[in-house]
Amino acid sequence: MTDKIFLTALRTECIVGIWDWERQVKQPVIIDLEMACDIRKAARTDHIDDTVDYKKVSKRLLSFVEESHFQLIETLTENIARIIVTEFAVSWVRVRLNKKGAIRNSQDVGIIIERTSADYAA
């Protein structure tokens, strides 16, 4: 399947980091998503219930990330992927998480992962 829904530059702040000061102050993170899903039914019916509702995805992720307190962006990114695949019935997801300003003299630093439904099968 080649259909993908994307969501780019979803910005929020959260507690993430290993240093004492990072555990006290929220830092900006930017999330980019690509989600594989079959959009043919939605294209035929023209109904939101037949596709991945990216507004619901963004609201769920914003709520989760803003309340999270992970030390590693690896852990945060993995949890984002798990939510997308398991809660929104997406067969494949690519998550790019950018922790702006984490490294002095660097514009960006982050993680890119890809996960499938098989990765979270019980």
Q: Which residues are catalytic?
A: 99
Looking at residue 63, its pLDDT comes to: 97
Average pLDDT of the residues in 13-31: 91
**Residue 98 pLDDT exceeds 60:** yes
Strand partners, 4: 36
Residue among 33, 28, 14 nearest 108 (CA): 28
Looking at residue 2, its pLDDT comes to: 80
Question: Are the C-beta atoms of 117 and 85 separated by less than 8 Å?
Answer: yes
Looking at residue 26, its pLDDT comes to: 92
Please report the domains of the chain, with CATH numbers, ordered by start residue.
4-120 (3.30.1130.10)
Tens digits of residue pLDDT in 31-43: 999 999 999 999 9
Question: How many whole angstroms separate alpha carbon 27 and alpha carbon 14?
Answer: 5
Q: Which is more confident, 20 or 94? A: 94
Mean pLDDT taken over the chain:
93
Give the pTM: 0.93
The residue with tokens 């922790």 is 99
CA atoms within 13 A on the CB side of 78: 8
The residues, ordered by sequence, that sit 6+ positions from 106 with a Cβ below 8 Å of its Cβ are none
Which tokens sit at 50? 């037949």
Tens digits of residue pLDDT in 40-72: 999 999 999 999 999 999 999 999 999 999 999
Looking at residue 45, its pLDDT comes to: 96
